[in-house]
Amino acid sequence: MKLSFTSIYTTLHAVGLVNALWPVPRNLETGTSLLKLSPSFDIQFEAGSGWSPPQDLLDAISRTKYRLWNDKLGRLVVGRGEDDREGLESASSLSLLTLTLDSYSHSKSTNDDDSVGSSTSRTILPISVEAVKDIGTRSEEYSLKVPANGGPAVIRANSSLGLLRGLTTFEQLWYWLPGDVDEGDAGGIVYAHQVPVTIEKDYPAFPYRGFMLDTARNFFPVDDIKRVLDTMSLVKMSVFHWHVVDSQSFPLTIPGFEELAKKGAYSRKEIYSSADVQGIVKYAAERGIDVLVEIDTPGHTAIIAKAYPEHIACPDAMPWSQYAHEPPAGQLRLASSATTNFTVSMLSSIAQTLPSTMFGTGGDEINENCYQKDPSTQEDLKRSGATLEKALDSFTQTTHGALRQLGKKVVVWQEMALNHRVSLANDTIIMVWKSSEHATEVAKKGFRIVHAPSDYFYLDCGGGEWFGNYPGTNSWCDPFKSWQKAYAFDPLARFSSAEASLVLGGQQLLWTEQASPENLDPIIWPRAAVSSEVFWTGPHHPSGQFRTVAEALHRLHDVRFRMVQRGVRAIPLQPQWCALRPGQCDSGGLPSTAWGFALKKLTKVIKRYKRIALSLTNNYLERIGYNEL
């Protein structure tokens, strides 16, 4: 019998690539049966008598039901699922998905009134409350079962947030097969192709799975940010790091400091009002995402001079490269007690309006020359007798202390831990950005870590230098950081077992010197989804094998196509021909992953038959009385 490359590949693909879930669950068992979604399909919440679901969980249920019928994603196989049509005629139908809480520890009791005999209702804590708890205390675990016989499917969790994570997994199981031309969408079938499905206690390896967006270099409307949040939720990302202001613009309205946005925004139309901020924070939390707002200090603050010039050293100094990392130059006068008090008031005013337990204060790229050439700063240092580092320490302790009094854990860039002699609280969170190799240095100091290394996770790299007088040159962080590069990142590389507990997770980042609403989606997606799996699944798959690009590609294709169906302008990873034929566009033109799998199987078969042949030979020789001399 002669087997072609294609026939061997097709057979192996049928048994090997059985799911397209992203991120891959901690454990997963699937079958090969088809299951239709009944036209009467419903999702019900069950938690016992007296328990009522929060409104944001009900809203999440409504969104899931809408997406199941409106994603209209065809399977990524040749024919886009047409070969399933005959089998679907006799397939069972799913009519019900039940959401169940395994425990009621994430709940509260409320009395209708204080009178005798008042009724008591027990309410599950909302998703929006669970999502903004301290980063190490959130419960995202869920279990999911989808039977093949049409019996009710079940998602179990310990919290509303866990139920949300289960719903996002459930959504990714379903595909669309259009009806006849005459029927249009009305005759289409929503179905799963790998039931039964069993996922037991899927939970993230790391609680911080983030994405950072800079809205200061260029402004992004609220609707763009909400679309980013929806897509983050699709892949179980948990933190939106909002680098909302910088030297170039100050689009953030801060109560009591409205002049900052009025004079620091690019225009009156490019400002985030207090209502906008609260709307974004609420929208994110309802989708399981904590919003970490960052106001970088004392550097990256030149724009503050437009409203409060008395607090900024070397404003707009030229040549800017001697005074700042990017134009325009300007930094907070950290040696001034008046500026320190101003900064405390400003940060506290916005921080106290935010539910997150984290708040970012930056601390990166402080330019010493700016302070040396600033007469006011030099006078303040001379008067106090302090060095610049001592003044930075005092500024940091005062501003961080005010935030801690508000219950915030402070998040800073790595320079504050590695390059300056400042006193940081033990619970300070350090973002490692300059190089992945610096993470262990931070760990040795005992601080918690968020991986954000430019050599793996910077999405803006690869566009070339944006400075006007450097035509044709690369930027400092080129080349382009492909999804394959990011996927190869090991969060625990070079960490001891004790240090590994300090790793909270990581994020991919978009600095927007060359990004705007017009190219936002293509730059982010689907590359930013990589960190969701890197930090949900961890370095290894449940099988114990390290994550591989070859295995991940088919699943990333699938989630990218689903993003597109939801209105996200995510870029393709390969020609569609390749997306429909996993492995056949590998290097060399052969389905190398399938062939590697085939060779391993073939080797085992040869060894097995060699043992059988040897045994038969020995038996025959014994029967004929042959003895080896």
Q: What is the DSSP letter of 557?
A: H
Which element (helix H / strand E) includes 14?
A: helix 5-16
Alpha-helical (H) ranges within 352-427 are 368-372, 375-384, 388-405, 415-418
- Helices (H), strands (E): how many in the chain? 22, 19
Query: Is residue 462 within 8 Å of residue 481, measured between CB atoms?
Result: yes
Residue 45 bridge partners (DSSP): 99
Distance of CA 295 to the CA centre of its chain: 21
**Pick the catalytic residue: 171, 365, 499, 513?**
365
Residues with Cβ < 8 Å from 189, sequence gap 6 or more? 36, 37, 88, 176, 177, 179
Query: Is residue 432 within 8 Å of residue 415, measured between CB atoms?
Result: no
Angstrom distances, CA of residue 233 to CA of 239, 289, 370, 463, 502: 10, 7, 42, 28, 25
Distance CA 9, CA 595 (A): 7
Distance CA 245, CA 261 (A): 10
**Total residue count of the chain as it appears in this document:** 629
Show the tokens assigned to 586: 């590998």
Query: Is residue 339 within 8 Å of residue 391, measured between CB atoms?
Result: no
Distance CA 197, CA 376 (A): 67
Distance CA 357, CA 403 (A): 10
622 classed as catalytic: no
State the DSSP string of 190-222: EEEEEEEEEEEEE--S-SEEEEEEE-SSS---H
Residues with Cβ < 8 Å from 577, sequence gap 6 or more? 585
Task: Please write down the long-range contacts of 483-488, taking CB distance under 8 Å and 24 or more positions apart.
Answer: 483/526, 483/527, 483/530, 483/556, 483/573, 484/549, 485/456, 486/456, 486/457, 486/527, 486/530, 486/531, 486/534, 487/530, 487/533, 487/534, 487/547, 487/549, 487/552, 488/456, 488/547, 488/549
Distance CA 140, CA 208 (A): 12
Three-class HEC string of 237-279: CCEEEEECCCCCCCCECCCCCHHHHHHHCCCCCCCECHHHHHH
Q: Which residues are catalytic?
A: 365
